[in-house]
Structures are given as C-alpha cells and as structure tokens.
Amino acid sequence: MQRVDIATTRFQRVEVWKSPLQVEFRVEQAVHAWWHAQRFLTGLAWDNIIAATLLHPSKRPQAILMLGLAGGTTFHALRHLLPDAELTAVDIDGELIDLARKHMHLDTLRCDISIADAYEWVAASRKKFDVVIDDVYLAGKVDVYRPGDWNEAWITQLKSLLRPNGMLLTNLVRGAGHRTLQSQIRQLYRQHFPCVKEVRTPDGLNETLCGGNSIAGVSALRQWRAQFKASRDRILWDKISVRRLPTLTPSS
C-alpha cells in the first residue's frame, strides 16, 4: 500500500493508504477505517459490530443508528447484508466524513449522515431504531478514548432511542487502560437489560456488548455466511463468538 493523502482535521491526523483493492485510514499508526473492493471483514472490531447487529430478534433489523461512523467500514458490510435497511449515522468529524466520501465510497451506502456531537444529537433525537450502535471514540496521542461519560444518564438516553425489542450495542476496547471502563459499562448493561451478550473475534482487542429483551445466539449468524463471496470473509465469520453474560444477582 502507498500513502496518498494526509489530512489534519479538528480532531485527528489521518493518513490515507491505498492499494488497487483497498483503502486504510490510519490514525497514530492504527487502522481507523478500512474499505476493500471485494471483502467486508477484517477479524477486528468491525466484525463484532456487524455480527452483533444481526443478532436482533427480528433477524433483519430495518432501522440502524451508528454513533461514530468514521470511514463507514461497518456500514459497508451492513448495507451489503441488509440492502433495504434504513442506515443513520452521526459523526463529529466532518472532514473525516469528506475523506471517506472521497476515498471509501461512502456515498454508495445510502446513509443519512449528521455531522454533530453524538451526545447532543442523542439528547435531541426523537427517532426510534431497531439497533443503536455506540462507537463514540476519539484518537488520543497513545490510545483511543471516550470523550464523554458512560454512565446511568447516557445508557438511559440511548435506550430511549430503541424501538420495542430493540438492541443497544457498544464497542468496547479491552486490555490495559480500558478494563475499568469495560467493567463499568458491563455492569450498567446488566442492570438495564434482561439479556446481555458479548461478541468477539479471536484476534481482535475489542468486544461488542449487546443489550436487549431478547438477543439471538451465534447460530443466527450461520444464515449470513453464504452472503460473503470471499473465502477469507467466510473464515473470519466462522470465528466470531457470542457469549451471554451472567444475570445480576441481588447482591451484585
């Protein structure tokens, strides 16, 4: 791959790397977004979110909101799998969205994109969704971080956007420096939802937490396998795991 562009937005410095088949946005030497002409999966956090969305009890969610669109990696796969779904996204970095339109075919997604602070947008929104994806991160000097508090008020606001039987998804970074926040969010999920599951890929450093009244199991993912034409995608899809978190006990 070759670096073809560098952009310094209000929030981050983005390097655009390209080959004949793929594009990467790199921030602080980490891949921030990815697009491929023939494939959809990476073995990383985006796969978790894609799979988790398809655990909705309807099996085909029709209204999906993503907070933190970036280059649109997740939505490229979801548009492929759910061609008729209504996709809505919020991202604070308009310059990054412009880069994605230029380099990552963002306009092919038929997605309603708002350039806004996700916290303010959620507080003002009255729309309802089958799936709400919380992927609100900003890039720091060393690692990504969440720019706002993840607390009782935030999960209550996110839940207010859900349709009956809707699911809330949160992308969580695992490992050193993130364990306290991961534990806090898991606890809030278990307090607010009767069913909580985690979705992981074996080589990734993230998990997607899913909360709802009812969430399908890993067997629900099998029907989608044939939709991936690339053998590499099918291999990665088969590696995705889904695990239910224990129900809270009164002493918890």
pLDDT tens digits for range 111-153: 999 999 999 999 999 999 999 999 997 766 655 667 788 899 9
Helices (H), 169-240: 179-192, 231-238
**Is 22 inside any structural domain?**
no
Q: In degrees rounded to 5, what are phi and psi of residue 181?
A: -65, -40
CA distances from 31 to 126, 157, 220, 252 (A): 33, 30, 29, 37
**pLDDT of 251 above 70:** no
**pLDDT of 67 above 60:** yes
**Is 181 inside any structural domain?**
yes
List of residues 6+ apart from 82 with CB closer than 8 A: 60, 61, 62, 64
Cα Rg, the chain, nearest whole Å: 17
**Is 29 inside any structural domain?**
no
**Is 155 inside any structural domain?**
yes
**Is 45 inside any structural domain?**
yes
Its domain, for residue 68, covers 38-244
Give tens-digit pLDDT for 78-97.
999 999 999 999 999 999 99
**pLDDT of 104 above 60:** yes
**Is 5 inside any structural domain?**
no
Whole-number Å distance between alpha carbons of 86 and 82: 9
Query: Can you give the pLDDT at residue 193?
Result: 96
Cβ 127 vs Cβ 148: under 8 Å = no
Cβ 169 vs Cβ 209: under 8 Å = yes
Cβ 54 vs Cβ 218: under 8 Å = no
Cβ 240 vs Cβ 84: under 8 Å = no
Lateral strand order in the sheet of 30-36: 2-8, 13-18, 22-27, 30-36
Task: Over range 170-196, report the average pLDDT.
Answer: 89
**Is 98 inside any structural domain?**
yes
Query: Can you give the pLDDT at residue 140?
Result: 63
**Is 30 inside any structural domain?**
no
Helices (H), the chain: 45-53, 73-81, 94-103, 118-124, 152-159, 179-192, 231-238
To the nearest whole number, what is the mean pLDDT of the chain?
93
| Domain tally, the chain | 1
Whole-number Å distance between alpha carbons of 16 and 34: 10
CA distances from 116 to 68, 160, 238 (A): 10, 19, 36
Can you give the CATH number for the domain in which 82 is found? 3.40.50.150
Tokens of 97: 């969205």
Query: Can you give the pLDDT at residue 249?
Result: 57
Q: Which of 2, 25, 237, 27 is CA-nearest to residue 138?
A: 27
Tokens of 24: 């990467």
